[in-house]
Structure 1
Amino acid sequence: MIRLFIPHDLAAGAELALDHGQSHYLASVMRQGVGDQVALFNGRDGEWLSAITAGTKRAVALRAETLARPQTMGPDLDLIVAVVKRGRVETIVEKAAELGARRVRLVLTERTNADRARVERLTAIATEAAEQTGRLDVPQVSEPVKLSKLVDGWEDGRRLLFCDEAGDARPILEALSGQPAGPWAILIGPEGGFSPQERAVLRALPYAVPASLGPRVLRADTAAISALTLWQAALGDWTP
Structure 2
Amino acid sequence: MSAPRYDFTSHRLFVDSSLHQDARVDLDASQSNYLRNVLRLPDGAGLLTFNGRDGEWRARLSLSGRKIVSLIIQDLVRVQEPGCDLHYLFAPLKHARLDYMVQKAVEMGAGVLRPVFTRRAQAERVNLDRMRANAIEAAEQCGILTIPEIATSARLEALLSAWDASRLLIFCDENAPVRDPLEAMRDVASAEAGRPLAVLIGPEGGFDPQERAALLATPHVLRLSLGPRILRADTAAVAALALAQAALGDWRRRT
Report the TM-score when normalising by structure 1.
Answer: 0.94
- 1:51 is aligned to 2:87: no
How far did residue 181 of structure 1 move? 4.3
SS in 2 for 1:143: coil
Contact 1:27 1:56 in 2 (8 A): no
- 1:126 is aligned to 2:135: yes
Instruction: Evaluate the alpha carbon distance shift between residue 205 and residue 169 of structure 1 in structure 2; reply closer, same or farther with a 3 A threshold.
Output: farther
- 1:77 is aligned to 2:90: no
Contact 2:32 2:69 in 1 (8 A): yes
- 1:220 is aligned to 2:229: no
Quick one: distance in 2 between partners of 1:167 and 1:46? 42
What is the number of residues matched between the two proteins? 240
- The letter of the residue matching 2:116 is V
- The letter of the residue matching 2:230 is V
In the alignment, which residue of structure 1 is the partner of 2:245?
Answer: 232
SS in 1 for 2:204: coil
In the alignment, which residue of structure 2 is the partner of 1:97?
Answer: 106
Q: 2:197 aligns with which of 177, 180, 184?
A: 184
Residues 111-190 of structure 1 mapped to structure 2, 5 A cutoff:
111-168=120-177, 170-177=179-186, 178=189, 179-190=192-203
Quick one: distance in 1 between partners of 2:250 and 2:97? 26
Q: 1:13 aligns with which of 22, 25, 36?
A: 22
SS in 2 for 1:238: helix
How far did residue 55 of structure 1 move? 4.2
In structure 2, runs of 5+ residues without a counterpart are 1-9
In the alignment, which residue of structure 1 is the partner of 2:44?
Answer: 35
Quick one: distance in 2 between partners of 1:83 and 1:217? 18
SS in 2 for 1:121: helix
In the alignment, which residue of structure 1 is the partner of 2:5?
Answer: none
Instruction: Evaluate the alpha carbon distance shift between residue 229 and residue 57 of structure 1 in structure 2; reply closer, same or farther with a 3 A threshold.
Output: farther
In structure 1, runs of 5+ residues without a counterpart are none
Quick one: distance in 2 between partners of 1:69 and 1:185? 28
SS in 2 for 1:124: helix
Instruction: Evaluate the alpha carbon distance shift between residue 38 and residue 123 of structure 1 in structure 2; reply closer, same or farther with a 3 A threshold.
Output: same
- The letter of the residue matching 1:223 is A
In the alignment, which residue of structure 1 is the partner of 2:210?
Answer: 197
SS in 2 for 1:209: strand
- The letter of the residue matching 2:39 is M
RMSD over equivalenced CA pairs, Å? 1.5
- The letter of the residue matching 2:242 is T
How far did residue 107 of structure 1 move? 0.6
Contact 1:86 1:117 in 2 (8 A): no
- The letter of the residue matching 2:99 is E
How far did residue 117 of structure 1 move? 1.0
Quick one: distance in 2 between partners of 1:56 and 1:215? 60
Percent identity reads 45
- The letter of the residue matching 2:33 is H
Report the TM-score when normalising by structure 2.
Answer: 0.89
How far did residue 236 of structure 1 move? 2.4
Contact 1:171 1:211 in 2 (8 A): no
Q: Please, which moves more after superposition, 40-49 or 113-122?
A: 113-122
Quick one: distance in 1 between partners of 2:23 and 2:185? 45
Contact 1:172 1:212 in 2 (8 A): yes
Superposition misfits of 4+ residues, deviation over 6 angstroms: none
Instruction: Evaluate the alpha carbon distance shift between residue 152 and residue 59 of structure 1 in structure 2; reply closer, same or farther with a 3 A threshold.
Output: farther
In the alignment, which residue of structure 2 is the partner of 1:63?
Answer: 72
Contact 1:35 1:52 in 2 (8 A): yes
- The letter of the residue matching 2:250 is D
